[in-house]
Structure 1
Amino acid sequence: MSVSHRFGVRRVCVIALSLLLTGTGPSWGAPKEVRYILDFMPDGFHAPYYVALDKGFFTDEGLNVKISRGYGSGDTVLKLAAGQYDVGLAAIGALITARANENAAVKGIMLYLTRDMLTMWVRDEGKITTPKDLEGKTISTTPGNGHFVMFPAFAKGAGFDAGKVKWVTVDGAAMGPMLINKQIDAAPFFASHGPRIQAQATERGIRLKPFPYADYGLKIYSTSLIARDETIQKDPDTLARFVRASLKGMRWAADNVDEAARIVMKHNPEVTFEATKGAWEVSKKFIFVEASSCRSNRAPPCSSSPTARCSPRATLARRPPTSSSTATGSWRWAPAWPRRRTPPASTRPASWSCPG
């Protein structure tokens, strides 16, 4: 059954700032340049944004968008805060920590993942069978990696001592090969990266085993579109247009999985079709949620609140950030358009609203 048919029982829920959702009609002047940085290397997880670029959804909104690869959420947040980019994609945990410890003037503007995909990957060779076996082991990370930020909460839920793990900071592109070549014991990747890194491991006759953080009690909101405080205050219209085009890309990619994967390949020749398609198929499960999940108009208490319970490393700051300082609006469950103003059918996902 196609995604478009399943939308009869599924709703698209996102979190966004209400003022960003009241954009004007398509009467633009010269295209607005937007520099957009991803959280990591491009793959199927990023399909909606490449679809929006390739299908002209950004152009329709008067935007000339340039997409750049990321090197980990923490790096993305800091580069955005420094003004090197206009919009970014990053894990909320990394944003909270950067806001608390680096005073990064960046906020979330739209939730991309309604459930977290943080996952620790190990070689399935009998040496690490439970998360507790990670004690005494070496794990790779990138600077400000969301997995690293949330690791203490994962360890607490899984019942082991996070302080007994050794971390090594490496380039994101090196983590997979280092795990496969047995230079490290574990590596953090999103669940959507599974098809790619497992394919690489299979070539060496190795099987990988995932430990999803969510399976051990870490049920939080995750990767979001982010922007600088200054942009949110001075140019909300551009952000509104970027969000609208992105949502159109989400719907189109959900309805056209194979072609969406090919579009990602078109812009990133280094990726493979099967891995890209697999990554997008996994990602969809974390982006589109069942209508029953939208019963409450407000986010669950732990989902976005920057507390020690949700983002332990943020407590290292003297003044941990508040919810209002890390996310725009009140982080409500909401369709990506105002409730009182129904968007044109051509610009909204089918069954787009969430019950209030």
Structure 2
Amino acid sequence: MFTRILPAFAAGLLAASPVAADTDIAFALDWRFEGPSAPYFLAIDNGHFEAEGLSVEITAGQGSLDAIPKVASGAFPLGFADINSLVRFLDQNPGAPVTAVMMVYDSPPFSIVGRVSQGISGIGDLEGSVLGAPPPDGAWAQFPILAEVNGIDVSTITIEPVGFPTREPMLAEGNVDAVTGFNFSSYLSLARLGVPEEDITTILFADHGVELYGNAIIVNTDFAAENPEIVTGFLTAVARGWSDAIADPLAAAAAVIERNPAGDQELEGRRLELAIEANVLTDYVRENGMGQIDADRMDRAIEQLRLTYEFTSEPDAALYFTDAYLPDAELRMIAPE
């Protein structure tokens, strides 16, 4: 169910008192209601938010950057967004009240999805190709880093701006050779359009020297400062929702189809599985639980961002992520026993 909140309601959220029963929270997703959003719906359906005294409504988004201004403006207290885009947003909007509080995609889903029949079998085939890229796409935003780290001559690539709805159809029709996107979205969308899976190549940025993190739960810092228990309760419920989804991805996808009846449960279950395997349940998360980041890796990620982005002020990792609201590690363990 798509929801909108009024400015007055948003202002009320920012002034809310600490956790009480039935505290209303609006949560802004990055994208449509698809498999990887199932854990948040499970946190509703399985009573995890309710157990934390929260009543949560979830709104679909329009891309990895979409939730950042929504949360920074106070329109939503919490959202889900690409942390690398958040770094740039905060550099361009110093002092904006938004930061990340729980890493979800420990390995970023940024990828190039191409077709073997169009000459794309690996990263070395990108030069001389036609690459479809939606301007708001998180993978496209980080593509220059992939190119820099791997010595790709971008001047040889024809960049074709595409919309999200036309991205995979254009690739299926052979109008582009590859597209930027998330590994769990573009691959399955392409297969659903009838492209044989053996004709699909997925080039994960993380497999080619890119050390960036992916999407995280973000929070309006004014709201968090006044309501720390609410934020921690929210993150606790999210971790439990992910644990439920990992236990049975196909069943978890039913929670998505309930909100998106036009979807396909088997397809969304597989999409969720791909996200779990490649992006969420990494070795680091198995050992440390969901949500935390490695400080040294974050420093390296910031240095990679410097390769293609000129900061207006010296970057500071403390501005982009805080673990102050994370629940204890045992509550964030999402790996199966």
Interval of TM-score (by shorter of Structure 1 and Structure 2): 0.7 to 0.9
Q: 2: CA distance between counterparts of 1:124 and 1:319?
A: 43
Residues 163-172 or 40-49, more deviating: 163-172
Q: Which runs of 5+ in 1 are unaligned?
A: 1-23
Residues 123-132 or 298-307, more deviating: 298-307
Matches within 5 A, 1:199-214: 199-202=191-194, 207-214=199-206
Partners of 2:82 and 2:138 within 8 A in 1: yes
Partners of 2:84 and 2:212 within 8 A in 1: no
Partners of 2:246 and 2:336 within 8 A in 1: no
- Give the equivalent residue in structure 2 for 1:156: 148
Distance 1:254 1:304, change over 3 A: farther
Q: 2: CA distance between counterparts of 1:146 and 1:205?
A: 24
- Give the equivalent residue in structure 1 for 2:237: 245
Distance 1:126 1:324, change over 3 A: same
Matching of residue 45 in structure 1 with residue 39 in structure 2: no
Distance 1:84 1:204, change over 3 A: farther
- Give the equivalent residue in structure 1 for 2:280: 287
1:53 positional shift: 1.7
Matching of residue 338 in structure 1 with residue 316 in structure 2: no
- Give the equivalent residue in structure 2 for 1:328: 322
Q: 2: CA distance between counterparts of 1:306 and 1:265?
A: 36
Partners of 2:35 and 2:271 within 8 A in 1: yes
Distance 1:291 1:96, change over 3 A: closer
- Give the equivalent residue in structure 2 for 1:7: none
Which amino acid in structure 1 is aligned with residue 296 of structure 2?
P
Number of positions where the alignment pairs a residue of Structure 1 with one of Structure 2:
316
1:326 positional shift: 0.8
Q: Provide, for residues 12-37 of structure 1, a one-character-per-residue CA deviation record: whole Å limited to 9, x for no partner.
A: xxxxxxxxxxxx9xx734x2221111
Matches within 5 A, 1:77-226: 77-103=68-94, 104-194=96-186, 196-202=188-194, 207-226=199-218
Greater relative contact order (CA < 8 Å, ≥ 6 in sequence): 1
Matching of residue 228 in structure 1 with residue 223 in structure 2: no
Q: Which runs of 5+ in 2 are unaligned?
A: 1-17
- Give the equivalent residue in structure 1 for 2:264: 272
SS at match of 1:316: coil
- Give the equivalent residue in structure 2 for 1:55: 46
- Give the equivalent residue in structure 2 for 1:74: 65
Distance 1:32 1:162, change over 3 A: farther
Return the structure number with greater helix share. Answer: 2
Distance 1:280 1:348, change over 3 A: same
Q: 2: CA distance between counterparts of 1:351 and 1:281?
A: 14
SS at match of 2:233: helix
Q: Provide, for residues 79-116 of structure 1, a one-character-per-residue CA deviation record: whole Å limited to 9, x for no partner.
A: 22222322111121111111112444321100112212
Q: Provide, for residues 14-70 of structure 1, a one-character-per-residue CA deviation record: whole Å limited to 9, x for no partner.
A: xxxxxxxxxx9xx734x2221111112221112211111222221222222111111
- Give the equivalent residue in structure 2 for 1:14: none
1:289 positional shift: 3.1
Distance 1:172 1:304, change over 3 A: farther
| TM-score, length-scaled by structure 2 | 0.81
Which amino acid in structure 2 is aligned with residue 110 of structure 1?
M
**Aligned mate of 2:304, from 302, 309, 322:** 309
Percent same amino acid among aligned pairs? 22
| TM-score, length-scaled by structure 1 | 0.78
Partners of 1:302 and 1:310 within 8 A in 2: no
Partners of 1:88 and 1:226 within 8 A in 2: yes
Which amino acid in structure 1 is aligned with residue 297 of structure 2?
C
Distance 1:143 1:235, change over 3 A: farther
Residues 266-275 or 241-250, more deviating: 266-275
Q: 2: CA distance between counterparts of 1:189 and 1:143?
A: 11
Q: 2: CA distance between counterparts of 1:255 and 1:75?
A: 29
Q: Provide, for residues 218-243 of structure 1, a one-character-per-residue CA deviation record: whole Å limited to 9, x for no partner.
A: 13322110112222222222211110
Distance 1:330 1:237, change over 3 A: closer
1:163 positional shift: 4.8
Which amino acid in structure 1 is aligned with residue 217 of structure 2?
L
Matching of residue 64 in structure 1 with residue 51 in structure 2: no
Distance 1:256 1:306, change over 3 A: closer
1:245 positional shift: 0.8
